[in-house]
Amino acid sequence: MLQISYIRENKEKVIEALQKRGFREIEKIEELIRLDESKRSIQSQSDIIASQANTAAKQVGELMRAGKREEAEAIKTNSSNYKEQIKAFAEDIAELDQKIHDILVIIPNIPHESVPAGLTAEENEVVFQYGEDPDLSQEALPHWELTSKYDIIDFELGTKIAGAGFPVYKGKGAKLQRALINFFLDEAEKAGYIEVQPPIVINEASGFGTGQLPDKEGQMYFIGQDNLFLIPTAEVPVTNIYRDSIVKEADFPIKHCAYTPCFRREAGSYGAHVRGLNRLHQFDKVELVQITHPDQSYQTLEEMSSYVQTLLKKLGLKYRVLRLCGGDMGFTSALTYDMEVWSAAQKRWLEVSSVSNFETFQSNRLKVRFKDENGKMQLAHTLNGSALALPRIVAAILENFQTENGVRVPEALQAYTRFEFID
């Protein structure tokens, strides 16, 4: 959530940046500033009345001690309406605070100056590409046919048990999943991330803190009886570890990784592009979260991007890195890099990771603060990234490494799977 003081002091910059994202309610910025001016005016009046009330109270006390009761009573009578005035002002301020809050929560983050203008995925900027196309035969199969051929993922059985988008992993398919999870966690530990195992349900406060609420209610599964949500990503519970916290500047960067299942309703997702593992309602992911000093967050973002790329290289996958345009970024992000792997049998790119810097957008909601070297309280910067989401990684491995003898398991995973081929 943006800070009202920042919007007030940088109105034109904010408007220009939001237009870069395609934000359609620019008039809300003017309304927000008007409401803030009204609030500050009322607060100023309230402060004057409060000062007058304090002065009157002191005078009454002094007169009573001096035995001048009549004069004291006269001042008390004349100032009797101060409390009512202050109460009325407080009610007006509370009403304005709510209106300001209601607008602030619908305003997305300000994009970083390097974010390209644009509204759709086609306008994202390719900043790096690595690897060669795998040499596959003309008979190469898409992953949904390979999973059936080798009986490692059963989509129909998952539909029977829960519904479409909830596959059942079997045999070597289940072991490949476990191998990837352990590989990603072990690599994260080597990179200095501390593993946590958070809850996979969150309350409203947690959803609001990281920006899923009120923006993404329709994308999350809701447990009505308990007023809880299934997590869309481990980013939410892990970042909320530090909600309402004052962290130590000396502890930066704070680095966590977590494996969790993730749940997304993906309402309205249909068509060939979501077939098989391309888009699921439940999937596994290892997530990275960092909380760091504002001066270091963009260096941290580059380091996180480079780290995710090392994982893709170790798996032997062709990939590319995109800098998302303003209109394709998430609501909370200031700058996002997407990593996509090449799906050889489908002949298309599949997103497997997003690495984002939220600057103070989340920490302002979460109240994650630190004292700088001068003792001044500041908001920290938060970042997160997928390292990695499993379904499309599995799809790419199956498709890119298929041979006449089966699917060759990437060498980096063989110590975890304890087999070289899926056959």
- Extract the annotated binding site for L-serine: 233, 264, 287, 384
Task: Show the CA angle centred on residue 31, arms to residues 26 and 36, nearest 5°.
Answer: 130
Asked, as a colleague might, if the bond just before 253 is cis with ω within 30 of 0, I would say: yes
Sequence-distant (6+) residues with CB within 8 A of 181 are: 259, 284, 286, 390
Burial 206-229 (b: 16+ CB within 10 A, else e): bbbbbbbbebbeeebeeeeeeebb
Q: Where are the beta strands (DSSP E) in 164-311?
A: 168-169, 194-195, 201-202, 222-223, 228-230, 245-247, 254-263, 282-292
Binding residues: 233, 264-266, 287, 351-354, 384
Binding site, annotated residues for ATP:
264-266, 351-354
The whole-angstrom separation of Cα 156 and Cα 169 is 11
The dihedral built from the CA positions of residue 280, 332, 196 and 181, taken in this order, carries a sign that is: positive
C-alpha dihedral, 11 to 13 to 14 to 20, nearest 10°: 150
Helix runs in 24-68, H state only: 27-65
**Distance of alpha carbon 39 from alpha carbon 8, whole angstroms:** 13
- Distance CA(177)–CA(179), nearest Å, equals 5
Residues 6+ apart with CB under 8 A from 251: none
Contact in structure between 291 and 381 (CB atoms under 8 Å): yes
Whether the CB-CB separation of 336 and 354 falls below 8 Å is answered with yes
Rounded (5°) CA angle 124-127-133? 100
Token reading at 249: 């500047």
